[in-house]
Chain A
Amino acid sequence: SSELTQDPAVSVALGQTVRITCQGDSLRSYYASWYQQKPGQAPVLVIYGKNNRPSGIPDRFSGSSSGNTASLTITGAQAEDEADYYCNSRDSSGNPSFGGGTKLTVL
């Protein structure tokens, strides 16, 4: 099982704000990165480092961290944000590790 824990599913009303969380001991020492995956597509990086967005990622996506919890916040969720979201950090060996994923539904 993953050392990074995510809620399996989260829903948000169109235009509202949603927070997707990732918990794990490694998050006390390492920042999380976040990936969006739509059905049949490869994952896409949306947040990395302290709170950095790659080019082309809308500014409604933001990241934060406190203690052993990292969060991805979508402010003003859009229909096209409906997807699976995965966090990534390190495991106890220092190797990369992914959370189990959160399925976001936009109502």
Chain B
Amino acid sequence: QVQLVESGGGLVKPGGSLRLSCAASGFTFSDYYMSWIRQAPGKGLEWVSYISSSGSTIYYADSVKGRFTISRDNAKNSLYLQMNSLRAEDTAVYYCARMRGIAAASNWFDPWGQGTLVTVSS
């Protein structure tokens, strides 16, 4: 079945770095756009970044632009998020999700991984 599994979360000090990974299975990973979405504790969902199927098109939310880098390795069916200069406000559960409809009059995310918690604290 279609599955996404995130890893790499943990506790990091402000200003530090962390790299998240998302392993995909059950579908042809290289055919799909992928995205990272986060959720701060007790808060709503916030889109972070997405990357096209080939990796040639990338967008970021203003809140992470210049600090986070999304990438993918289609040979390894994996999505990544390199997070640098981390701040307390980056504390959240980070989900990877398959993204569809971006070129149409809609976009949707399905499925989502189980999420990985990133805590930025001294």
Residues of A within 8 A of B (CB): 2, 29-33, 35, 42-45, 48-49, 54, 86, 88-90, 95-101
Contact = CB atoms under 8 A, between A and B. Distances in A.
Nearest to B100: A48
Contact of B105 (A31, A43, A99): A31
Contacts, number: 68
A96 B110 CA distance: 14
B114 A48 contact: no
A88 B44 contact: no
A32 B67 CA distance: 29
Contacts of A96: 35, 47, 50, 99, 107, 109
Interface in B43-78: 44-47, 50, 59, 61
Nearest to B6: A42
Nearest to B98: A45
B83 to A, nearest CB: 19
Contacts of B45: 35, 43, 86, 88, 98, 101
Nearest to B115: A42
Contacts of A48: 100-101, 106, 108, 110
Contacts of B47: 88, 95-98
